[in-house]
Amino acid sequence: MPTSELSDALNPYYAQSRSRSGHHAHDTSQLPPGSHQPAPQHTPHRAQPDFAMVGPARAPETPPQNQTNRVTAVQELLRFLASTREACEVERRRRLTWEREMEAKHALQKTEMERRIFELQQEVTSLRSCLPFYQATSLGGGPSTGTSDLQTLHPALPPATFQQPTPTSSAAAVHSSTTGRPTVEPVPIHALSTPEVAEPLGSPSFHSSPSFASTRFIPVNPSSCQGQSPPGRKSATLSESDEDNSDASSSFPSHRLRRRNHHDNRCLTIQHAMRNHLLRVMQLDNDKQLPDSCVEGTPLGPDEPVRFVWDKTPKQSVHNSRMKERVLKDLKENRRLYRHVPDKEFGKKSLESAFDQAFVTLRQKFKAQRDASVAKNYKQREEIKAMRARRLSRRKVKLGKRSDARGRMQIFEHTTFDGALQLECMSSEESEVEEDPTSETRAVVLRIRGCQWRSLRLQHFFDALDKEEREVNAQRPRRGVGRKERYRGPAKEGILLPPKGVASWMISKRWMAMVQESHSEVHDMLKDVIMDTDGFDCRQFPLMSVESDDEEWMEPPLVDDNYIQRTDASTSFSFQNALSVS
């Protein structure tokens, strides 16, 4: 039955019914899909006048649940972020504190290690300075004195045996000058320690450490170890050695770069840098194929590669002179490419000399590349230079080994043996090719050729040094294929004079008689060469045997069990026997 607006307004249940239906629909939407919804009850219709007496009903207020939930979630998130930030800050502070403690601990450990190493070096130096005198005392029959002197150097003794470095330095120096023996001055620790070690991280505990406050150094006085020092090279005072070291350091650089191995191709000299730079400005990879000669008067731009007139020198050709100036100027501008070359070698005279040497070499290579006969002669010259360099290197190696062996043998510490350890006294080792008639194979061997002027005593001196070297090398691990076989060959031909500084017992009497008969002028020249030392007696050295009136370069009569005896028909002998004769 349709109603009008007036009837709806007079109906008291009109607004309430709409509110209830909406609320009911909201409730039904929240019910689960499987639940049963009760049927709506019938409401009786009341009279319209009742509605006029009853006021309009208010709709129920629903609380803002969504807004409250949002505010709570934001507060929880902010509270979580604040707690996380606080935990991170606490962890960061704990980490920084731990790092500072560890750094201070490591700094103290490093400082303590440096102090112990320094004390150990001081003790080793002291023991080394007293060891020769102790051994000489032991050989003389008085080991008790040397033992007591060495015990005074032990750091576990009472502090009364130690002395402070500052108050006793002058007294020790005066005592050293009066006795004529070396005195090792104690060195303060601040002279050897770096500033980083002295003040690690500004920690005050380092300066208050009791270990540094009780540090003592041992001034060594060799006169207390032995009444009289044996004659030898170690009799020089420390001041003299310091003067020699200062002179050497002033004339030579403090550190000289050397090649690590044969694969090290760094430019360490101005000659090497000049050769490389010449190839660089000529835009060449190597010198195996040099460009053709340039025509005199041909202009070359700054961007074009450098070319030379190979038939002329820089003084003969104006073009070569201009190219020389261009190369030297470019080398100075690119100084950074050769950082291992000292700055003093980039002077005008050094650069010009290095350029002339490199240009002469390039000219010879150019002629060898264009002419077969010139190439053959050039190859022969290079082979001769390489052969001489190899022989010289073998003699230097032999001299170095014998010098090291002499340093380990105290019996040969006398200064008269210094003249024997010269490069001119070493025998040469020349490579030769031998053919085996039985197997028809060819092998390269080294033929040892000694000097005719060397006496038998000098040869026995070298034999003793070689034996000491072999005993030391026998304990070292071996690697590779080893050295080539050495065989004894004839003496060197011609009259080779001994170097200056040799003693008279180092020269063979037979050779002296022969030279006096054939070359009297040479015999007069030997007077300026021979330098005998006063107080030297050869009879104190039984290893050198006795002197013979008829001496020559021959195999020593002393035979060791390790040597293999060969017959006279054999042309060679074993490697060990060869080393004993060299």
Reported pTM: 0.44
Residues 390-401: tens digit of each pLDDT: 999 999 999 999
Residues 50-71: tens digit of each pLDDT: 444 555 555 555 556 677 887 8
Q: What's the confidence (pLDDT) of residue 495?
A: 82
**Residue 264: enclosing H or E segment and its boundaries?**
none
pLDDT range class, residue 512, cuts 50, 70, 90: confident
306 vs 303: CA distance, rounded Å: 9
**Among the listed residues 338, 331, 332, 336, the one whose alpha carbon sits nearest the alpha carbon of residue 265:** 338
CB distance 412 to 503 below 8 Å? no
The residues spanned by each domain of the chain are 81-126, 270-370, 379-474+485-544
Is the model's pLDDT at 44 over the cut of 90?
no
Cα Rg of the chain (Å, integer): 49
Q: Which of 399 and 41 is assigned the larger pLDDT? A: 399
145 vs 511: CA distance, rounded Å: 48
Q: Which of 131 and 56 is assigned the larger pLDDT? A: 131
**Among the listed residues 196, 202, 169, 194, the one whose alpha carbon sits nearest the alpha carbon of residue 184:** 169
pLDDT range class, residue 526, cuts 50, 70, 90: confident
**Most confident region among 26-35, 240-249, 370-379 by mean pLDDT:** 370-379
Residues 66-112: tens digit of each pLDDT: 778 878 888 999 999 999 999 999 999 999 999 999 999 999 999 99
Q: What's the confidence (pLDDT) of residue 179?
A: 41
Q: Whole-number mean pLDDT of the chain?
A: 71
Q: Which of 156-160, 439-443, 466-470, 492-496 has the lowest mean pLDDT?
A: 156-160
Question: pLDDT over 70 for what percent of the chain?
Answer: 60
241 vs 361: CA distance, rounded Å: 43
What count of residues does the chain have?
A: 582
- Surface-to-core class of residue 105, CB atoms within 10 Å of its CB (0-12 exposed, 13-18 middle, 19+ buried): exposed
Residues 202-241: tens digit of each pLDDT: 444 434 344 333 433 344 444 344 444 444 444 333 344 3
CB distance 129 to 220 below 8 Å? yes
Which residue's entry shows tokens 């038939």?
Answer: 311
Residues 412-458: tens digit of each pLDDT: 888 888 988 999 999 988 887 777 677 777 777 888 888 889 988 89
Which residue's entry shows tokens 């052969």?
Answer: 387
Helices (H), 180-269: 195-198, 204-207, 210-213, 238-251
